[in-house]
A and B are shown apart, each in its own frame.
Chain A
Amino acid sequence: MNIVKRSVDFLVVGGGTAGCMAAIKAKHKNPDAHVLVLEKANIRRSGAIAMGMDGVNTAVIPGNSTPEQYVKEITIANDGILDQKCVLKTGELGFSVIQELEEWGVKFQKDNEGEYDLKQVHRVGKYVLPMPEGKDLKKILSRQVKRNKVEVINRVMATRVIVQDGRAVGVTGLDVRSGDFHVIQAKAILLCTGACGRLGLPASGYLYGTYENPTNAGDGYSMAYHAGAKLSNIECFQINPLIKDYNGPACAYVASPFGAYTANAEGNRFINCDYWSGQMMLEMWKELNSGSGPVHLKMYHLDEATISEIETILFANERPSRERFHAGRSENYRTHGVEMSISEIGLCSGHSASGVQVDENMETSIQGLYAAGDMANVPHNYMIGAFVSGRVAAEHAMNAIKEFDHLEPDQAFLDAEMKRIEAPLSNPDGIPHTQVEYKLRRYVNDYMQPPKSPSNMEIGLEKFVAYDSVLSQMGARDPHELMRCMEIHFIRDCAEMAARASLFRRESRWGLYHYRLDYPNRNDEEWLCNTIIEKSENSTMEVSKQPLQPYIIDVNLAEEKYDVAVVA
């Protein structure tokens, strides 16, 4: 392995939504600083918005809603568990992000008066802002990255954060084409590597047929854990209502403001709120298990002009291959409901609330280590939250690093990491990564898919812990296969965290996301708190309770339940 060493001021790991914004904002703050984006794909088309986005889910636009109302909505939607100060940032700064994106050429939908054309999908307020022309979002962002003279290294995957004297001082990485070993020193590091989208196995059995971009294998969750950072509420899984088999969004956020709705086999509504909460997923699970399924997104009652308009949006943005999926089955929104199913599990704070714990500056519990986007635990943060968190992290980090110099990484740590990465290459006839990953993720489905049963999860946990010995039998024949092998290490770590956190929280919360069969009720008295996972001094995975940060906006949790079911 060739060794490539470099040092920068601010290192952004992951060039997706949060990472591109963070890099741009760091340069706005200090144009002379050396800012580097490390990306395992190519920032032009990487991350969750590789093919753009059809709308914004958390737009707090003055005159329509206030940051305080938004915080209240998310507090209730996430069953009271959050750090309101972090969510407030999304509410306060989201509008300026939207305005800045517009200056860069991103288009948001406006009505005939030129006002933002907001739609209601949440239970109370209007926060959904369509972007029918959102397909080039990532190209626009990468252009801004270049314009601001941010350095970008594509096709290098970070593998570990280097921590010295309690502070994050760099990362190690693998060039997924050349196989070079990278050591990058930095004064501050932002992890924004997206969700753990390859945790459960899609029902199709295709490893990469996931909702999330499958490059996002929980890299940041695992790296933060090994760095010693705290992760919170990992038991609050991401589970989505998706097009069956295609495993992508249908998407009700786009279609329901036009009059589409989620219906059962008889064509009747069974939920009154299409916003993706755990409660909504629980209603869907109940319907599918009640004999009233299958469940579908119903559009065929709408007129031709409306259906055409929905198609124009859905077939151009986010997951444009929806069009050929439907066509391949000779199905059509005019004649068929879109059959929906419940996805496999993942970890993603952008949609639910499991991630690396951050404070209102997006700093983790390790000094100099920040997290943003889908992997940072700011509940229901979505795309605007990713932009905001990237920006907040960058601005704070650029101030903080003024006091820091580079610290030389410990050579023994680097040697050990190089040895860990190289192992599969020295065993080219070892078990292929595809089989190793398939089996691991099938175990995740078998033992972790809610509703959760403790005895099942105990078996799962045992298997995930023992899987370390399987990982050591993996073989790789080139740097590409090696990348996949190292990703499976990330996935295994996330599976163990998911099992331990789910066993620890002895109540049910967040609807289907953490529905425990042995503790079917929510218990605020004992569990209105965070579940923290961190690495102990003797390298074991520890789980503990942590009190919530005090609310800054009053919410009466006893009175305001997030009930989405249609009352019979």
Chain B
Amino acid sequence: MSLASNRVDVPVIVDESKCLEKCTACIEVCPLDVLAKNPETGKAYMKYDECWFCLPCEKECPTGAVTVQIPFLLR
């Protein structure tokens, strides 16, 4: 089977200048487990577009690096 990769506007935005490499707070609290660390930069990013826009990732980030947008389809 052939697969295409599509561009998607994702709801969770991480400000890499504020994200702490040793911190995993947002990743640990996400109910859907959609956040991960970029192995190259050590910064968090939204790996899977499966978001409930519930906000724990944003609320528990110690540096305010995480912003949750309403997913485009609902916005």
Contacts and interface: CB of A to CB of B under 8 A. Distances in A.
Interface stretch (A221-229, A321-329, A504-512): A321-329
Contacts of A431: 1
Interface string B2-28: 010000000000000000000000001
Interface in A513-566: none
A45 B33 contact: no
A155 B54 CA distance: 18
Nearest to A324: B70
B65 interface: no
A104 interface: no
Interface in A202-238: 204-210, 213-215
A322 to B, nearest CB: 10
B31 A484 contact: no
Given A41-B30, A432-B3, A209 B73 contact: yes
B54 A319 contact: yes
A177 interface: yes
Contact of A430 (B1, B68, B69): B1
B74 A208 contact: no
Nearest to A429: B1
Interface string A296-317: 0000000000000000000000
Nearest to A155: B33
A245 interface: yes
Contacts of A215: 31-32
A499 interface: no
Size class of the B contact interface (CB-based, 8 Å): 20 to 34
Contact of B50 (A44, A45, A208, A319): A208
The listed residue with most A CB atoms (<10 A of its CB), out of B51, B52, B55, is: B52
A475 B1 CA distance: 10
Given A46-B31, A213-B31, A484-B50, A320 B55 contact: yes
A51 B55 contact: yes
A42 B28 contact: yes
A176 B52 contact: no
B75 A328 contact: yes
A213 B54 contact: yes
Contacts of B74: 204, 206, 209, 245-247, 325
B74 to A, nearest CB: 5
B18 to A, nearest CB: 19
Given A41-B33, A44-B29, A321 B56 contact: no
Contacts of A484: 50
Interface in A463-492: 475, 480, 483-484
A50 interface: yes
Interface in B34-75: 47-48, 50-56, 60, 68-71, 73-75
Contacts of A329: 75
Contact of A429 (B3, B55, B56): B3
Contacts of B75: 325, 328-329
- Count chain B CB atoms within 10 A of each CB in A177, A210, A324 and give the residue with the most: A324
A335 to B, nearest CB: 19
Contacts of B70: 246, 321, 324-325, 328
A323 B44 CA distance: 25
Interface residues of A, number: 39
Contacts of A205: 73
A559 to B, nearest CB: 43
A544 B1 CA distance: 42
A484 B56 CA distance: 21
Contact of B71 (A45, A209, A480): A209
B50 to A, nearest CB: 5
Contact of A51 (B33, B51, B56, B73): B56
Contacts of B52: 208-210, 213-214
B69 to A, nearest CB: 7
A437 B71 CA distance: 18
Nearest to B60: A45
A176 B33 contact: yes
A175 to B, nearest CB: 11
B29 A214 contact: no
B55 A321 contact: yes
A215 B47 CA distance: 17
A213 B55 CA distance: 12
Contacts of B28: 42, 44
A430 B52 CA distance: 26
Given A208-B32, A431-B1, A480-B47, 18 more contacts: A41-B30, A41-B31, A44-B56, A50-B54, A155-B33, A177-B33, A204-B74, A206-B71, A208-B50, A208-B51, A209-B74, A210-B52, A213-B31, A213-B54, A247-B74, A320-B55, A324-B68, A328-B75
CB-based closest 8 A-B pairs: A45-B56, A41-B31, A206-B73, A45-B29, A321-B53, A204-B73, A204-B74, A245-B74
19 contacts: A41-B31, A42-B28, A42-B30, A44-B28, A44-B29, A50-B56, A204-B74, A206-B73, A208-B52, A209-B52, A209-B73, A213-B31, A213-B54, A245-B74, A246-B70, A246-B74, A321-B54, A321-B68, A328-B75
